[in-house]
Amino acid sequence: MCVFLAHKFQQTAFDETNVSNGIGNSCTFVNETCEFLIGNDIAIAHFSDKPVAEESVTVTFSIPPNHVVESAWIEGVNMYMGKIPVLLEQGPQGKWSGWFMLGSCSEPVMRWQLRLNIASEESPAYLYFVTQQ
């Protein structure tokens, strides 16, 4: 019974599609695409593939043109993994593109937060996602 409940909990955590960062900004993934808020403006992130450990993933952001990304990184939520940089380049009309590579860890279900520091915003924007071994 314990094994069944543990498996069910892990599967539920991985299947979760609506993740809130605790400050009212939520992210819903559909086909590796996520809508999130920067202030009151809608932004979109698109991942080339589902993020997995030790594989390069490209992410593209479409943000309102009046916002500039100062920096971005990923941190583990349920286990400390350091700051993983997201190497971004600005494109035309609010497009930003970059890549990252997650480290592997011992957790079977790992929760991550991608933090975007925006020049015109007091608080960063967050995206949350889950990886599973």
Q: Which domains does the chain have, with CATH numbers?
A: 2-132 (2.60.40.10)
User: pLDDT tens-digit profile of 11-27?
Assistant: 444 444 344 444 344 45
From 127, 123, 125, 102, select the one nearest 18 (Cα to Cα).
127
In this predicted structure, the answer to whether residue 6 has a pLDDT above a threshold of 80 is no
Q: Is 23 exposed, middle or buried (0-12, 13-18, 19+ CB in 10 A)?
A: exposed
In this predicted structure, the answer to whether residue 124 has a pLDDT above a threshold of 80 is yes
From 120, 133, 123, select the one nearest 69 (Cα to Cα).
120
pLDDT at 13: 43
In this predicted structure, the answer to whether residue 80 has a pLDDT above a threshold of 70 is yes
- Write out the DSSP string of 14-52: HH--EEE-SSS-EEEEETTEEEEEETTEEEEEEESS---
Q: Is the pTM of this model over 0.85?
A: no
CA 62 to chain centre: 14
pLDDT at 101: 94
pLDDT at 35: 83
pLDDT at 23: 36
In this predicted structure, the answer to whether residue 117 has a pLDDT above a threshold of 90 is yes
CA atoms within 13 A on the CB side of 105: 21
Q: Which two tokens stand for residue 36?
A: 């999130």
pLDDT at 27: 56
How many C-beta atoms surround the C-beta of residue 38 within 10 A? 21
Lowest pLDDT segment from 30-39, 64-73, 96-105: 30-39
